[in-house]
Structure 1
Amino acid sequence: MSEERGRDRSEKEKEHNAEIEAFSRRTDLGELSPREYADAYAKALRSQNIEMLTCFERMGLMAPMAARHARIRQAFVDFGFVLIPNSGWENFLFELDLIFVQFDVPDTRKGHAELRRDVDACIVKLEAVRAMLYEFNHSIDFSVAAMLSEAGTNGNIPMIEALIKSHETVSAWLAEHSQPPRWRGKTLRNTRIDLATKLLTIFHCEFGIAPKPDGGSAHVPIAEANEWQRFFQACAFVRMQERETPDRQAILWEAYRNW
């Protein structure tokens, strides 16, 4: 049974890789708008994303589908979004789930400088472990115990050496690639535009309304916002835990230009 599951996984991986490779070979990618590119890429990853949802749920890394969908619908209620999807709630929420699982929220808690300090601290610990292992080799009792137990401890020391070297390489890269000022804000802004762009097509298809915000660049309170603005804010709350997206108007106008 385990061998059959292994073969099934191998076949699925081949299928996923073939779909992504076919996407990468397309000659018209440079002609697509950002929204069209996002849609085409999502289509290439669709079967992989479906499997990812199933796998994450089975492993307990994600809430059951019913709970996830109930949370999304409640977010729509909380933000005053009242439209009914053309394909029905079950299908619509499943498609939205696929968008969310493909969407990565960057971890901006630590920049390169902070991360490098953590990596360097890890190197110090690894070096301490290496020194301890070498010290063990000066103990006759340890050497005899390792030999009689066939533990192969000395054979694993090169692994520690390799870990130290690889972490030193990462540390050096982080030192050479410093981040620009206000990188956190820029990263999150690009992420919000990316989310809005991924939501353009599903909103337009399901509700028959252009995904275009009301108003200009000035802030529009959610109580005065149109359905697209409410829809985006509900999705941003579900996926990014943002109840009030900063500079929402500019984000949505830029996403609309990606159409």
Structure 2
Amino acid sequence: MSEIMDAYWAAPPMARTFATAIVVTSISAHILGLVPYAWIYFTEDRLFRLPPEIWRLATNFFLSGPQLGIIMDPYFAYMYLKQLETANLKFPRKEDLLWYLMTVGGFIILVNRAFLGGAFFLPGLLMSLTYTACQDQRGVQSSFFFFTVPAQAVPYCMLLASVLMSPGIIPLQLSGIVAAHLHDFLTRLWPEFGRGPNLLPTPGFVSWLVQTPRMLPRGYGTAIRQPDATAGSGTGASTGSVLPDSWKTRGSGHRLGGN
């Protein structure tokens, strides 16, 4: 048990926390019935009550699909977010990745509430993470179930799989692609090719949120933040594949599902 806990606390903190939130919320709601769905779904009118129920901006992304979704959704969330947290040059600081999650999540909520409806949006966020993690991997081959495909095609393979297994979430997944592409355009494509400013710079309050806690998790224990310490950024890469038999595969420069 201690080895499992050591491995858990050694995992990248944002990926670990997000996956844990999905597991705990989904089991509590789907299986144990401890968390009513009415407490966590998103609806804008609850944001304007007194007190405002602002937690719904986050909790609507914590509910997985039932049955197999309780296993697969946290797994995919952890693997893709881990890759963005540890091996993506677009997010050199933890606050940059946190701001990405906040803005992309906001885009998904706006698109769905304006055009599609719905109250739980985790499939859209998972698709955003997939799209962002895979879009810069041109030339890299990844496996998706029994097929080998270009890495940048993995999000569209996920859409195809949804056609067969869960067609109802396809519009939500498409909104996730739109949200991720919009974030990429505003923060990278426009500055690089339009010679304009970054239209979504990470605000100072997000840096404050990341840097404020004095207890810093590390792979080998816990460090105490000194008064002048600043948040660092992670580097490295890890990958896995979709099939359980190949989850142990690892290799530099691959994305989830990579050989």
Tell me if TM exceeds 0.5.
Answer: no
How high is the TM-score relative to the length of structure 1? 0.28
How high is the TM-score relative to the length of structure 2? 0.28
Higher share of residues assigned helix: 1
Higher share of residues assigned strand: 2
Larger Rg: 1
